């Protein structure tokens, strides 16, 4: 029987693979093509996910036994995560495949293990709240400091000029986009998640998230275009046949590629959503003894 650290590690790994193989994803790497990317491909994502398994296992292990203040766990997770980044870059030849996902899922896997170790609720909403408790004070301080210095990245520039907090904002607030828009879908889903379920999650995120990857590539006009197209696609999903909708997605993919648009932020949140669903559903289905009790969620 899997122990918590092994279960968390395997669930993160499989969630990363499920995200990249969700197809078709407009503008993103998938089974059909490399989207709006010249430096990324499916094999790099697979190599990266494999290279990061030891990082997620280390994060889960230290978090399970953590007895110091919660915000100090965030610092410890980041230290391990930095080593994971090096493993990722070594595996991909210097290409950034999973930096954003490593940040989000590293924190979430740590929160999952910490909750198990301390008998806290394990349902998705409670885990998201725990992520916020762990990170909010530190990330608020970091954003305040960013306001005082010259920006050194696209994300920092967007924060300084437009107030977009990117993945920091999602994490420090406990993944509000997922809680508001994705968790309500969960009762309708079943394992294994179907491709249509994952496409629904992705399009819902693309329609509602202020994706800094899109803003960096094309500004506010590009974001308006992506959100508008995602809304239309969600409507089409309800009224078209499976074959018709797949053709519609492929056409959207072509249009996004022509505009060099890629919703990397939404893709990372898709991986987080898959993890949250699998963690809660796999755990309940397999009835792990460490998941039993009134606080199991």
Cα–chain center distance at 42: 17
Q: Which two tokens stand for residue 283?
A: 């755990």
Domain-located, residue 98: yes
pLDDT at 2 over 80: no
pLDDT at 293 over 50: no
48-106 pLDDT per residue, tens = 999 999 999 999 999 999 999 999 999 999 999 999 999 999 999 999 999 999 999 99
- Contact of 13 with 49, CB cutoff 8 Å: yes
Question: Rounded to the nearest 5 degrees, what angle is found at the Cα of 182, between the Cα atoms of 263 and 138?
Answer: 75
pLDDT band at 44 (very low <50, low <70, confident <90, very high): very high
- Say what the pTM is: 0.93
Asked whether the bond before 131 is cis by omega within 30 degrees of 0, the reply is: no
Domain-located, residue 99: yes
> What pLDDT does 284 receive?
65
pLDDT band at 297 (very low <50, low <70, confident <90, very high): very low
Tally of CA atoms within 13 A in the half-sphere of 110 that contains its CB:
31
> What pLDDT does 166 receive?
81
pLDDT at 287 over 70: no
pLDDT at 233 over 90: yes
Region 10-37: what's the mean pLDDT? 98
Q: In which residue are the tokens 């899997």 written?
A: 2
How high is the mean pLDDT of the chain? Answer: 92
- Rg (the chain; Cα; Å): 18
129-173 pLDDT per residue, tens = 999 999 999 999 988 776 766 665 666 666 666 666 788 899 999
Region 35-52: what's the mean pLDDT? 98
> What pLDDT does 222 receive?
97
Give the percent of the chain with pLDDT over 70: 89
Domain-located, residue 296: no
Q: Which two tokens stand for residue 163?
A: 């107030």
Domain-located, residue 297: no
pLDDT at 278 over 90: yes
Indicate if the alpha-carbon torsion angle 179, 181, 184, 185 is positive or negative.
negative
Q: Which of 68, 54, 71, 40 is nearest to 12 (CA)?
A: 54
> What pLDDT does 296 receive?
41
pLDDT at 238 over 70: yes
Number of domains comprising the chain: 1
> What pLDDT does 48 receive?
99
b/e sequence 207-246, b meaning 16+ C-beta within 10 Å: bbbbbbbbbbbbeeebbebbbebbeebeeebeeeeeeebb
How many H-runs (helices) and E-runs (strands) does the chain carry? 12, 0
Boundaries of domain holding 230:
4-291
pLDDT at 294 over 60: no
């Amino acid at each position: 029987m899997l122990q918590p650290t092994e279960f968390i590690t395997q669930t993160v790994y499989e969630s990363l693979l499920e995200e990249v193989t969700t197809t078709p994803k407009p503008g993103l790497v998938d089974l059909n093509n490399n989207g709006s990317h010249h430096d990324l491909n499916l094999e790099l994502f697979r190599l990266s996910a494999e290279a990061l398994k030891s990082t997620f296992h280390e994060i889960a292990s230290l978090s399970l036994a953590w007895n110091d203040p919660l915000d100090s766990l965030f610092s410890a997770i980041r230290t391990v995560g930095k080593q994971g980044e090096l493993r990722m870059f070594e595996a991909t030849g210097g290409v950034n495949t999973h930096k954003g996902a490593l940040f989000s899922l590293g924190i979430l896997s740590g929160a999952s293990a910490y909750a198990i170790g301390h008998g806290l609720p394990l349902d998705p909403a409670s885990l998201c709240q725990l992520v916020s408790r762990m990170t909010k004070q530190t990330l608020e301080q970091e954003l305040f400091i960013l306001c005082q210095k010259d920006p050194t990245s696209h994300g920092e520039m967007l924060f300084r000029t437009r107030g977009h907090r990117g993945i920091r904002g999602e994490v420090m607030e406990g993944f509000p986009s997922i809680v508001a828009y994705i968790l309500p879908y969960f009762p309708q889903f079943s394992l294994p998640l179907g491709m249509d379920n994952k496409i629904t999650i992705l399009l819902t995120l693309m329609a509602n998230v202020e994706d800094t990857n899109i803003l960096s590539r094309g500004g506010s006009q590009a974001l308006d275009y992506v959100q508008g197209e995602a809304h239309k696609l969600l409507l089409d999903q309800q009224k078209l046949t499976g074959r018709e909708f797949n053709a519609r997605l492929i056409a959207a993919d072509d249009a996004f590629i022509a505009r060099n648009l890629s919703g990397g932020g939404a893709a990372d949140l898709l991986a987080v959503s898959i993890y949250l669903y699998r963690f809660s559903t796999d755990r309940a289905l397999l009835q792990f003894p460490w998941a039993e009790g009134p606080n199991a969620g």
